[in-house]
Amino acid sequence: MDLTLTTREVGGRTVVAVGGEIDVYTAPKLRDTITELVAAGTYDIIIDMEQVEFLDSTGLGVLVGGLKKVRAHDGSLHLICNQDRLLKIFRITGLAKVFTIHESADAALA
Protein backbone atom coordinates (compact mmCIF):
# COMPACT_ATOMS: atom_id res chain seq x y z
CA MET A 1 0.00 0.00 0.00
CA ASP A 2 1.27 3.43 -0.91
CA LEU A 3 0.78 6.78 0.75
CA THR A 4 -1.09 9.62 -0.95
CA LEU A 5 -0.71 13.22 0.14
CA THR A 6 -2.84 16.12 -1.06
CA THR A 7 -2.27 19.63 0.22
CA ARG A 8 -4.80 22.48 0.08
CA GLU A 9 -5.21 25.90 1.65
CA VAL A 10 -8.40 26.58 3.61
CA GLY A 11 -8.91 29.85 5.45
CA GLY A 12 -5.24 30.55 6.05
CA ARG A 13 -4.49 27.01 7.21
CA THR A 14 -2.98 24.15 5.27
CA VAL A 15 -4.82 20.84 5.18
CA VAL A 16 -2.76 17.77 4.28
CA ALA A 17 -5.07 14.90 3.32
CA VAL A 18 -3.34 11.58 3.89
CA GLY A 19 -4.47 8.30 2.40
CA GLY A 20 -3.18 4.75 2.68
CA GLU A 21 -0.69 3.49 5.22
CA ILE A 22 1.69 5.54 7.34
CA ASP A 23 4.46 3.11 8.21
CA VAL A 24 8.24 2.77 8.28
CA TYR A 25 8.36 2.86 4.46
CA THR A 26 5.95 5.73 3.77
CA ALA A 27 6.35 7.95 6.85
CA PRO A 28 9.39 9.81 5.43
CA LYS A 29 7.14 11.11 2.63
CA LEU A 30 4.79 12.68 5.20
CA ARG A 31 7.73 14.00 7.25
CA ASP A 32 9.21 15.64 4.14
CA THR A 33 5.88 17.28 3.31
CA ILE A 34 5.54 18.72 6.82
CA THR A 35 9.19 19.87 6.79
CA GLU A 36 8.71 21.62 3.43
CA LEU A 37 5.54 23.37 4.64
CA VAL A 38 7.26 24.66 7.78
CA ALA A 39 10.32 25.74 5.78
CA ALA A 40 7.97 27.70 3.48
CA GLY A 41 6.48 29.54 6.49
CA THR A 42 3.36 27.43 7.03
CA TYR A 43 2.86 26.92 10.76
CA ASP A 44 -0.85 26.06 11.06
CA ILE A 45 -1.29 22.58 9.64
CA ILE A 46 -4.20 20.16 9.76
CA ILE A 47 -3.47 16.51 8.97
CA ASP A 48 -6.62 14.85 7.59
CA MET A 49 -6.33 11.15 8.43
CA GLU A 50 -9.83 10.08 7.37
CA GLN A 51 -8.40 7.90 4.54
CA VAL A 52 -5.54 6.41 6.56
CA GLU A 53 -5.82 2.64 6.77
CA PHE A 54 -2.78 1.91 8.95
CA LEU A 55 -0.55 3.85 11.33
CA ASP A 56 2.56 2.50 13.06
CA SER A 57 5.03 3.95 15.57
CA THR A 58 7.09 5.51 12.78
CA GLY A 59 4.02 7.42 11.65
CA LEU A 60 3.32 8.55 15.20
CA GLY A 61 6.91 9.76 15.44
CA VAL A 62 6.51 11.81 12.26
CA LEU A 63 3.34 13.44 13.65
CA VAL A 64 5.05 14.26 16.96
CA GLY A 65 8.06 15.65 15.06
CA GLY A 66 5.75 17.78 12.93
CA LEU A 67 4.04 19.11 16.05
CA LYS A 68 7.43 20.10 17.50
CA LYS A 69 8.38 21.85 14.25
CA VAL A 70 5.24 24.02 14.12
CA ARG A 71 5.27 24.75 17.86
CA ALA A 72 8.79 26.13 17.47
CA HIS A 73 7.09 28.87 15.41
CA ASP A 74 4.05 29.23 17.72
CA GLY A 75 2.02 27.22 15.22
CA SER A 76 -0.37 24.31 15.52
CA LEU A 77 -0.75 20.84 14.10
CA HIS A 78 -4.27 19.43 14.42
CA LEU A 79 -5.51 16.02 13.31
CA ILE A 80 -8.75 14.95 11.68
CA CYS A 81 -9.44 11.37 12.69
CA ASN A 82 -12.72 9.55 13.23
CA GLN A 83 -11.62 5.94 12.95
CA ASP A 84 -11.79 4.02 16.22
CA ARG A 85 -8.76 1.84 15.47
CA LEU A 86 -6.57 4.91 14.93
CA LEU A 87 -8.06 6.86 17.84
CA LYS A 88 -7.30 3.86 20.06
CA ILE A 89 -3.61 4.15 19.12
CA PHE A 90 -3.60 7.82 20.13
CA ARG A 91 -5.34 6.99 23.44
CA ILE A 92 -3.03 4.05 24.31
CA THR A 93 0.11 6.07 23.61
CA GLY A 94 -1.16 9.13 25.49
CA LEU A 95 -0.94 11.21 22.32
CA ALA A 96 -4.68 11.92 22.42
CA LYS A 97 -3.76 14.42 25.16
CA VAL A 98 -0.95 15.92 23.06
CA PHE A 99 -2.79 16.44 19.77
CA THR A 100 -6.03 18.27 19.13
CA ILE A 101 -8.08 15.65 17.29
CA HIS A 102 -11.22 16.62 15.36
CA GLU A 103 -13.99 14.34 14.09
CA SER A 104 -14.29 16.07 10.71
CA ALA A 105 -12.77 18.72 8.46
CA ASP A 106 -15.66 21.04 9.29
CA ALA A 107 -14.90 20.76 13.01
CA ALA A 108 -11.17 21.31 12.42
CA LEU A 109 -11.76 24.41 10.32
CA ALA A 110 -14.47 25.93 12.54
Residue type, 99: F
DSSP string, 12-58: TEEEEEEEEEESTTTHHHHHHHHHHHHHTT--EEEEEEEEEEEE-HH
Dump pLDDT digits (tens) for 42-93: 999 999 999 999 999 999 999 999 999 999 999 999 999 999 999 999 999 9
| Banded pLDDT at 101 (limits 50, 70, 90) | very high
CATH of domain 3-105: 3.30.750.24
Q: What is the pTM assigned to this prediction?
A: 0.96
Q: Domain spans of the chain? A: 3-105
